[in-house]
Amino acid sequence: MRATVRVDVERVVGTIDPKIYGNFAEHLGRCIYGGIYDPGSPLSDERGFRTDVAEMVRRLRVSILRWPGGNFVSGYHWLDGVGPRESRPHRHDLAWHAIETNQFGTDEFLEYCHLIGAAPYICLNLGTGTIDEAAAWVAYCNCDDSTYYAQLRRKNGHPEPYRVMYWGLGNELYGDWQIGHKTAEEYARLAEETAKVLRWTDPSIRLVACGAQRVDWDWEVLRRTARHVDFISAHFYFGPQPGEDATLSLLAAPYAAGEYLDILAGLISGIRREQKIEREIAIAVDEWNCWYRQRRPPLEEQYNLVDAICVATFLNLLRRRAGTIKIANLAQLVNVIAPIFTRPDGLFLQTIYWPLLAAVRYSGPFLVRCDTESDGFTTSRVVAGSVPYVDALATLDPDTRKLYVSVVNLHPREGIDVAVRIHEARIRGQIQAHVMTADRPDLANSFENPDAIRLMLRNVPEPKDDVVWEAPPLSAAVLEVPVGR
Ligand code: AHR
């Protein structure tokens, strides 16, 4: 099978926001306790942070970290998690039916963000929380005056404000699984009023309204909140659909998400036009991943090659929509549906770690024009009816003059010869491919076999005309091409 990818290096069509390489840490299972934070472990530092985990997180260059939930946040009262640890209360976590000890709270989270170099993104409790409680949290983190919560932060050992920029107006309040579930109208009114008060508390913050991947909800929320918010969220969890070929169905799921993301971008444009809003409102895909096996806590999904290909496809898709998507957070960081998996004496990297690493490391800040011609497969998951076997994306780093062409072969059995035609630039050196593949779709990493799937480096033969990448079945590769003018 053959496919063609045409890249025009001179046609920059977007700037990729680094905040799309974000992640998410929820109080759920072993994500925080036993994952990020494990005081007393020989692998932890004096603050209780697992240093081996932090190192692997840093390599992923996580740009923004969302916390503390997820479903958890809709019953969370942040004051329980600040101040002397020994006097913090234990509470029922009714979202995940656990006991929350509150040993990891706001100050620990913000220290952790500092350690890994990520911008903090705090999701507020709009389930059982009040407007006052939300405003107090912003004041605790950001105010530098003589008011009560700024003083409380100082008393807790943090003289300087943290200046947390990103705040989420609740989590998935559209679903009846959520504590404090609301109708679109109820949520939109609460979000509107909360947003106003938060902005009056700290005008510099950026707010994310909670979207539902549904036109009726998203339209109502945008209608009410557009004047006050900077983002609307969308969550996508990929899994196969019953009655379809499991592999192809899973691999089509990012395309179905892409169709809704285009609709959401249209809703945003519609509201901005109707309400004459010049300011940008962007999309925050603030939870996404493959998740279809483990439905109950601790949600310790073990990922295989097909899952990693699905993740690579969605990373291409997110960057293709660089104009409208400005935040994205993989759910989640450690142990819970996560790329990093720990036990008390160490960790291994799941298959999905590698496309994430490839995307941050082998990608330029600019999206350039890239058109793909490829056969595809039919699926009922997308309105368009079919999904191409080859998904490609091109980015450029003008400083190093490197062109990065990310090529995913979704075909479960066939290798594809992908002809990459580069316009408006000369190739001036060895092309390298950073490839992830395996000969078994169900292959996974584990403590016993930690490197079954990882990123490999291959030289691509010097091209006579087009660059030809022989994409193995179920492979994700980034071609690193040195280019001159
Ligand atoms: O990431 C796991 C859960 O998935 C989150 O708590 C919730 O927001 C979503 O439904």
402 alpha carbon – ligand 1 mean position (Å)? 37
DSSP conformation letters of 368-389: EEEEEE--EEE-TTSTT-EEES
The domain boundary, picked from 303, 329, 361, lies at: 361
211 alpha carbon – ligand 1 mean position (Å)? 14
Which CATH number characterizes residue 384's domain? 2.60.40.1180
Per the annotation, the verdict on 287 as an active-site residue is yes
**Residue 267, both tokens:** 């809703």
**Chain centre to alpha carbon of residue 178:** 21
Q: Whose CA is nearest to atom 3 of ligand 1?
A: 70
Torsion-angle region of 62 (φ positive above 0: left; ψ -120 to 50: alpha; else: beta): beta
- Report the DSSP beta bridge partners of residue 468: 419
355 and 381 part of one domain: no
380 and 351 part of one domain: no
Q: Indicate which atom in ligand 1 lies nearest the CA of residue 72.
A: 6
* Distance separating alpha carbons of residues 57 and 30, to the nearest angstrom: 16
Q: Which one of 172, 220, 301, 480 is the catalytic residue? A: 172
**Residue 69, both tokens:** 């939930």
pLDDT given at position 425? 87
Render each residue's pLDDT in the chain as its tens digit; 485 residues.
999 999 999 999 999 999 999 999 999 999 999 999 999 999 999 999 999 999 999 999 999 999 999 999 999 999 999 999 999 999 999 999 999 999 999 999 999 999 999 999 999 999 999 999 999 999 999 999 999 999 999 999 999 999 999 999 999 999 999 999 999 999 999 999 999 999 999 999 999 999 999 999 999 999 999 999 999 999 999 999 999 999 999 999 999 999 999 999 999 999 999 999 999 999 999 999 999 999 999 999 999 999 999 999 999 999 999 999 999 999 999 999 999 999 999 999 999 999 999 999 999 999 999 999 999 999 999 998 899 999 999 999 999 999 999 999 999 999 999 999 999 889 999 999 999 999 999 999 999 999 999 999 999 998 888 999 999 999 999 999 999 87
Q: Indicate which atom in ligand 1 lies nearest the CA of residue 24.
A: 1
329 and 434 part of one domain: no
User: Would you call 173 helix, strand, or coil by DSSP?
Assistant: coil
178 alpha carbon – ligand 1 mean position (Å)? 10
Instruction: Please say whether the beta carbons of 74 and 81 come within 8 A.
Output: no
pTM for this model (two decimals): 0.97
Q: Whose CA is nearest to atom 7 of ligand 1?
A: 70
Instruction: Please say whether the beta carbons of 319 and 363 come within 8 A.
Output: yes
Give the residue, out of 30, 171, 179, 337, with the most ligand 1 atoms within 8 A of its beta carbon, to mutate for a pocket test: 171
Q: Is the Cα torsion angle 84, 85, 87, 92 positive or negative in sign?
A: positive
Domains identified in the chain, total number: 2
Which CATH number characterizes residue 331's domain? 3.20.20.80
DSSP character for 18?
Answer: G
pLDDT given at position 384? 86
284 and 199 part of one domain: yes
Helices 131-142, 106-116: axis angle to 10 degrees equals 50
Q: Indicate which atom in ligand 1 lies nearest the CA of residue 28.
A: 6
70 alpha carbon – ligand 1 mean position (Å)? 5
Angle at 222 between CA 216 and CA 223, to 5 degrees: 90
85 and 226 part of one domain: yes
* Distance separating alpha carbons of residues 188 and 197, to the nearest angstrom: 14
pLDDT given at position 391? 98
Q: Whose CA is nearest to atom 2 of ligand 1?
A: 70
Q: Indicate which atom in ligand 1 lies nearest the CA of residue 69.
A: 6
43 and 171 part of one domain: yes
Measured from CB, residues less than 6 Å from any atom of ligand 1 are: 26, 69-71, 171-172, 287, 331-332
The domain boundary, picked from 340, 361, 382, lies at: 361
353 and 431 part of one domain: no
Instruction: Please say whether the beta carbons of 255 and 382 come within 8 A.
Output: yes
Instruction: Please say whether the beta carbons of 122 and 169 come within 8 A.
Output: no
pLDDT given at position 464? 85
Question: What is the tens place of the pLDDT at every residue in 200-258?
Answer: 999 999 999 999 999 999 999 999 999 999 999 999 999 999 999 999 999 999 999 99
214 and 269 part of one domain: yes
Per the annotation, the verdict on 172 as an active-site residue is yes
Phi, psi of 276, deg, nearest 5: 55, 55
pLDDT given at position 485? 74
* Distance separating alpha carbons of residues 299 and 307, to the nearest angstrom: 15
The whole domain housing 389 covers 2-10+366-484
Q: Whose CA is nearest to atom 8 of ligand 1?
A: 70
Distances (CA, A) of 317 to 201, 367, 418: 36, 12, 19
100 and 227 part of one domain: yes
Q: Which one of 26, 100, 108, 287 is the catalytic residue? A: 287
- Strands, E, within 375-440: which ranges? 376-378, 386-388, 390-397, 402-409, 416-423, 426-427, 431-436
355 and 382 part of one domain: no
Instruction: Please say whether the beta carbons of 119 and 19 come within 8 A.
Output: yes
Q: Indicate which atom in ligand 1 lies nearest the CA of residue 331.
A: 1
The domain boundary, picked from 304, 335, 361, lies at: 361
Instruction: Please say whether the beta carbons of 241 and 381 come within 8 A.
Output: yes
221 and 87 part of one domain: yes
pLDDT given at position 358? 98
71 alpha carbon – ligand 1 mean position (Å)? 6
Mode of pairing for the β-strands spanning 390-397 and 366-373? antiparallel
Helices 184-201, 215-225: axis angle to 10 degrees equals 30
Instruction: Please say whether the beta carbons of 210 and 286 come within 8 A.
Output: no
Question: What is the tens place of the pLDDT at every residue in 191-203?
Answer: 999 999 999 999 9
131 and 230 part of one domain: yes
* Distance separating alpha carbons of residues 53 and 422, to the nearest angstrom: 39
